[in-house]
Amino acid sequence: MEGNFLSLKSQKSYTSLNIVFVGDLKVGKTTLLSQIVTPGNKDPVEATIAVDYQLKEYKSFVLNFWDVSGNPCFQSVRQQFYEKTSVFVLVFDISSRNSFENLNEWIEEIGKFANLETKIVICANKIDLFNARQVSETEGGLFASMKEFLYFEVSAATGQGVKEMIDKVISGARETI
Ligand SMILES: Nc1nc2c(ncn2[C@@H]2O[C@H](COP(=O)(O)OP(=O)(O)OP(=O)(O)O)[C@@H](O)[C@H]2O)c(=O)[nH]1
Ligand SMILES: [Mg+2]
């Protein structure tokens, strides 16, 4: 699997980034991660139990992706993975207004682990379900800009917008210490 492991023999020096995906159950966090790590992969994903981890070599970065379950019963487990996070990706599903409204709870949950150098972005997923849209791009973008977070619209199912998001997420993210 090209790009899915480190070229151990190379003398390249890498910057390590921890990127954590959070958001309600079934908003598509694991599918999104699968699309980032193996673009074009259409294999169905399973519900995350507590946390999943994936690693990707990307340009001069080692990206450590932590994909946590949105299930409330895993809150204390999730929090162990919030330390030393470079980027939090807050995911909601555009066909679920509830998942958008719950973003504030996610912001509160990660808040005590974020500092001025932590990047937070909002990711509106499932834009392929345009007929079922319950949150407009304008509303989502406004919510993000009021909090000074970047905003992306993507489809983890088709891959639309995913590469653009990850390129922007990486640029300027702080190194994991
Ligand atoms: N149509 C559509 N379906 C999607 C998209 N992304 C994910 N799904 C589907 O949504 C369901 C949930 O996806 P997951 O990736 O498991 O969601 P999750 O956020 O990781 O869920 P938990 O691990 O339970 O917190 C699956 O049936 C996916 O196939 C998308 O962009 N479009
Ligand atoms: Mg999952």
68 lines ligand 1 (CB under 6 A): no
Number of H helices, E strands in the chain: 6, 6
More confident residue, 60 or 136: 136
126 lines ligand 1 (CB under 6 A): yes
> Domain for residue 9, yes or no?
no
C-alpha to C-alpha distance for 151 and 123, rounded to whole angstroms: 6
| Interval 144-166: pLDDT, tens | 999 999 999 999 999 999 999 99
> Domain for residue 6, yes or no?
no
Count of domains forming the chain: 1
Q: What is the CATH number of the domain that holds 102?
A: 3.40.50.300
> Domain for residue 98, yes or no?
yes
> Domain for residue 153, yes or no?
yes
| Interval 38-48: pLDDT, tens | 888 888 888 88
Give the range of the structural domain holding residue 48, as residue numbers without chain letter: 14-176
Q: Give the predicted TM-score (pTM) of the model.
A: 0.91
> Domain for residue 7, yes or no?
no
Q: Which residues pair with 30 in a beta bridge?
A: none
> Domain for residue 2, yes or no?
no
**What is the β-pairing status of strands 150-153 and 15-22?**
unpaired
H, E, C per residue of 140-156:
HHHHHHHCCCEEEECCC
140 lines ligand 1 (CB under 6 A): no
> Domain for residue 5, yes or no?
no
Sheet arrangement for strand 119-125: 51-58, 61-68, 15-22, 87-93, 119-125, 150-153
> Domain for residue 3, yes or no?
no
Taking residues 89-99, what's their average pLDDT?
98
Residue of 24, 30, 31, 100 best suited for mutating to test ligand 1, as the one with most atoms within 8 Å of CB: 31
